[in-house]
Amino acid sequence: MAIRICPSILNADHSRLKDEITAVATADLLHLDVMDNIFVPNQTFSITECREIIQFSTLPVDTHLMIIDPDVKAVLYAQAGSASVTFHLEASAEPLETIKQLRAAGTRVGVAIKPNTPFENVLHLLPEIDMLLIMTVEPGFGGQKFMHDQLPKIEEARRGISLLNEKLPWLQVDGGLTIETIALAARAGADTFVAGSAIYRAENPAQAIRTLRELASQ
């Protein structure tokens, strides 16, 4: 199974963001966390900042929207040049419509679920999406502890995905992934891994990416 490592720039040093983005060029996707201080109690990049980051990044940008109203706003992040846009199921009244809009805008489509949202809520969307994101912390902040109680949900999602007969969506995990926890998530069936502090708090981000990749591949 192909493994993808997605550094999250949420906890990178924003005063030297270009250097921080360049430092992770050996990863697969750049993970961009967008928060509106409503869906989660934290606020991050504006759409203008997102556009600049997307233009600067040599990696495809994996935008993770933690905002209310994705049914209206998600498409803006596709138009801004994201390679993929992931929105939260909990924030969407019309997920199928939003998926359709994102697809029409030419981006890959992801749907995310928070720790308290059961996998079965997203089951009907699996054939329509390119990636399912299972949050392994409560969304909002980097540097939190991996929630081990999400491992059965990752296993359940892997089983559900393997029953599909056409294209299989990627299974992404986000939150608390470190050299201690990434192998657990990989063994449970994840193939796409977001890591913020494990990469940006490491002395050598490129080495951290290599180590995480090795641990996830075993």
Active site residues: 33, 174
Considering the complex, what minimum distance in angstroms separates the CB of residue 165 from ligand DX5? 31
Give residues 186-205 in contact with ligand DX5 (rule: CB under 6 A): 194-198
Considering the complex, what minimum distance in angstroms separates the CB of residue 203 from Zn ion? 23
Q: Contact with ligand DX5 (CB under 6 A): which of 95, 110, 142, 160? A: 142
Considering the complex, what minimum distance in angstroms separates the CB of residue 61 from ligand DX5? 13
4 counts as binding ligand DX5 under rule CB under 6 A: no
DSSP state of 145: P
211 counts as binding ligand DX5 under rule CB under 6 A: no
How distant, in Å, are the alpha carbons of 12, 56, 86, 98, 186 from that of 201?
A: 8, 22, 25, 35, 22
Q: In what order do the strands lie in the sheet with 84-88?
A: 4-7, 192-195, 170-174, 131-135, 108-113, 84-88, 61-66, 30-35
Residues 6+ apart with CB under 8 A from 49: none
Instruction: Answer with the entry of ligand DX5, Zn ion, none that 81 interacts with (C-beta below 5 to 8 A by kind).
Output: none
Interaction mask 93-132, Zn ion, x per CB under 5 A = ----------------------------------------
| Cα–Cα distance for residue pair 148/129, rounded to 1 Å | 25
Among the listed ranges 21-29, 50-58, 113-121, 174-182, the one in contact with Zn ion (CB under 5 A) is 174-182
- Cβ-proximal residue to Zn ion, closest one: 64
| Cα–Cα distance for residue pair 24/210, rounded to 1 Å | 10
- For 185-213, b/e burial (b = at least 16 CB within 10 A) is bbebbbbbbbbbbbbbebeebeebbebbb
174 counts as binding ligand DX5 under rule CB under 6 A: yes
Residues 6+ apart with CB under 8 A from 174: 8, 31, 64, 112, 133, 134, 135, 136, 137, 139, 194
Q: Contact with ligand DX5 (CB under 6 A): which of 70, 110, 140, 205? A: 140
Considering the complex, what minimum distance in angstroms separates the CB of residue 62 from ligand DX5? 10
What is the binding site for Zn ion (CB under 5 A)?
33, 64, 174
Binding stretches for ligand DX5 (CB under 6 A): 8, 10-11, 31, 33, 64, 137, 139-144, 174-177, 194-198
